[in-house]
């Protein structure tokens, strides 16, 4: 069973529907006790960094999520679920993130021809050929993005598994031990996004 964390701010419906379409056993986790039967955890996120951290705290999920990752259990962060892994974000100064990864998220800068937020399809270039998320997925595949903040390559460091260009290169996929995260929405990215969710489920079963 894969748990999909419900802390009051997330794209639960689309993630759950994608899992159902792929015949992946998944359940919505609304309290820490619900994590017990889960073999893997998905942290989706939509909204502002500070608001999401406030909701995670109010639902008593901050320590359980940190403990889950520290215990080496399979984890996937989606969109803001990637950004929450860092220590901080320019979006919400003074608000600490989960702090699983050092550094902070930065704001995309509007440029000619590039609007903020980035909304739409963009390429992801895998930089680690062994990353389980990219099994069977062609390099430079397009995925669907909706975001204004990003993990820069310095903050992501060796955890960077995929890179996207939008005025600058940034880390659009992360992999560190049992932790995987993507800035885009695989559940909204059609064929290859669904393949990525299938890959996560398969990899989680292998652990």
29 in a domain, yes or no? yes
Specify the number of domains making up the chain.
1
Q: Quickly list H helices, the chain.
A: 12-21, 49-58, 62-70, 80-83, 153-156, 190-206
Provide the pLDDT for residue 177: 95
Q: Domain with 130 in it: what CATH number?
A: 3.40.50.880
- Catalytic residue selected from 19, 52, 79, 131: 79
- Residue 99, in any domain of the structure: no
* CA separation for the pair 153, 73 (Å, rounded): 25
With respect to residue 176, please indicate whether it lies within any of the assigned structural domains: yes
Model's pTM, two decimal places? 0.96
Share of the chain above pLDDT 90, in %: 90
Q: Is residue 148 part of a domain?
A: yes
Question: Are the beta carbons of 130 and 157 closer than 8 angstroms?
Answer: no
Flag whether 178 is in a domain: yes
How do 101-107 and 86-89 pair as beta strands?
A: parallel
79 belongs to the catalytic site: yes
Residue 157 lies in domain: 2-92+108-206
Instruction: Verify whether residue 185 is a known catalytic residue.
Output: yes
Whether the predicted pLDDT of 13 surpasses 90:
no
Per residue in 182-199, pLDDT tens? 999 999 999 999 999 999
Omega of the bond leading into 101 within 30 degrees of 0 (cis)? no
Q: Tell me the per-residue pLDDT of 14-56, one tens digit each, with 9 for 90 and over.
A: 899 999 999 999 999 999 999 999 999 999 988 899 999 999 9
Choice among 52, 59, 131, 185 that is catalytic: 185
Would you say residue 167 lies in a domain?
A: yes
């Amino acid at each position: 069973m894969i748990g999909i964390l419900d802390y009051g701010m997330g794209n639960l419906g689309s993630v759950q529907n994608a899992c159902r379409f792929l015949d992946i056993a998944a359940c919505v986790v609304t309290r820490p006790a619900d994590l017990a039967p889960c073999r893997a955890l998905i942290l989706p996120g939509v909204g502002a960094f500070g608001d999401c951290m406030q909701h995670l705290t109010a639902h008593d999920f901050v320590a359980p999520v940190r403990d889950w990752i520290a215990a080496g259990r399979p984890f996937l962060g989606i969109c803001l679920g990637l950004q929450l892994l860092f220590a901080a974000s320019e979006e919400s100064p003074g608000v600490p993130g989960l702090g699983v990864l050092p550094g902070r998220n930065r704001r995309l800068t509007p440029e000619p021809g590039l609007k903020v937020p980035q909304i739409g399809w963009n390429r992801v270039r895998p930089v680690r050929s062994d990353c389980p998320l990219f099994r069977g997925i062609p390099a430079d595949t397009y995925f669907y993005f909706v975001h204004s903040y990003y993990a820069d390559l310095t903050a992501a460091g060796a955890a960077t598994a995929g890179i996207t260009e939008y005025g600058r290169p940034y880390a659009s996929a992360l992999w560190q031990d049992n932790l995987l995260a993507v800035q885009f929405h695989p559940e909204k990215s059609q064929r290859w996004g669904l393949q990525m969710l299938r890959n996560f489920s398969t990899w989680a079963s292998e652990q």
